[in-house]
């Protein structure tokens, strides 16, 4: 039975890293003692060790240990033996490139499909979708494929931002970008606002948090769904 927590962001304004998710972490990783951290997205270009240290401080508050995948000689074997997984945010292009470089997509997908608890934030949430094509990140490196884990039957756009009617910015809005995606692709897209997450339990996919999500389907007008809504039919 799939068991995923897919959050838009790791940090809310005025809070510490993962602070708003600590209570949920405890239940999500119930029965685990140490989580395998995948720091490949490296926000701001920080080192794997620096990123892992940040995650460790947060997970300690939930009574959980963390070890970075970069500390293992064989990353694929680390995934096979891990109790659970956390993939942090940063640059999705870099994250996906590294996952392909170490041939980790198949083994991570297998573990997730077999019920190992997985948590992602931002880029780590992007890769749970069918592809990374709805990321907001710059293509700083070139992954061999945009295809990702397909743990949910749609794409996700973390950090979804609504248009600001007072803004003088004349560039494309997030909604415009997603419509561009649908000119060439058919999968639905879930726009996850900050502080929201998807809870995946078996076949049930439920929106959690305090804010609505914005749903985009090819050829249709976007619409809003409220927290606790099931998204099982979004394919």
Q: H/E/C letters for each residue in 162-217?
A: CCCCCCCCCCCCHHHHHHHHHCCCCCCEEECCCCCEEEEECCEEEEECCCCEEEEC
- Residue 55 pLDDT: 97
- Residue 172 pLDDT: 82
- Residue 170 pLDDT: 65
* pLDDT above 90 as % of the chain: 94
Cβ neighbour number for residue 98 with a 10 Å cutoff? 20
Distance linking the first and last C-alpha atoms of the chain:
19
DSSP-derived pairing of the beta strands 213-216 and 223-225: antiparallel
| Architecture of the domain whose range is 3-225 | 3-Layer(aba) Sandwich (3.40)
Burial class (CB in 10 A: 0-12, 13-18, 19+), 72: middle
46-100 pLDDT tens trace: 999 999 999 999 999 999 999 999 999 999 999 999 999 999 999 999 999 999 9
Check residue 186 and give left, alpha or beta (phi > 0: left; psi -120 to 50: alpha): alpha
Calculate mean pLDDT across residues 96-109.
Answer: 98
Catalytic residues, by residue number, are 122, 137, 159
Picking from 145, 164, 151, the residue whose alpha carbon sits closest to that of residue 190 is 151
pTM of the model: 0.96
In DSSP terms, 36 is beta-bridged to 67, 85
DSSP-derived pairing of the beta strands 223-225 and 34-38: unpaired
Q: Compute the distance between CA of residue 4 and CA of residue 163 in angstroms, rounded to an integer.
A: 29
């Amino acid at each position: 039975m799939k068991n995923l927590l897919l959050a838009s962001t790791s940090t809310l304004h005025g809070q510490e890293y993962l602070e708003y998710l600590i209570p949920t972490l405890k239940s999500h990783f119930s029965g685990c003692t140490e989580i395998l951290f995948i720091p490949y997205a490296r926000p701001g270009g920080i080192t794997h060790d620096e990123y892992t240290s940040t995650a460790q401080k947060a997970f300690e508050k939930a009574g959980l240990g963390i070890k970075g995948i970069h500390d293992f000689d064989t990353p694929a074997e680390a995934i096979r033996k891990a109790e659970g997984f956390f993939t942090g945010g940063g640059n999705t292009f870099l994250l996906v490139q590294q996952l392909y470089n170490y041939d980790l997509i198949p083994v991570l997908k297998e573990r997730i499909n077999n019920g190992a608890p997985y948590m992602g934030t931002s880029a780590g949430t992007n890769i749970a979708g069918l592809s990374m094509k709805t990321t907001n990140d710059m293509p700083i490196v070139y992954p061999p494929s945009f295809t990702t884990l397909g743990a949910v039957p749609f794409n996700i756009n973390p950090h979804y931002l609504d248009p600001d009617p007072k803004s003088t910015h004349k560039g494309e809005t997030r909604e415009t970008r997603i419509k561009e995606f649908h000119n060439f692709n058919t999968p639905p897209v879930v726009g996850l606002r900050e502080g929201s997450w998807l809870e995946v339990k078996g076949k049930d996919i439920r929106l959690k948090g305090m804010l609505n999500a914005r749903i985009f389907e090819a050829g249709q007008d976007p619409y809003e769904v409220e927290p606790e809504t099931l998204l099982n039919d979004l394919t």
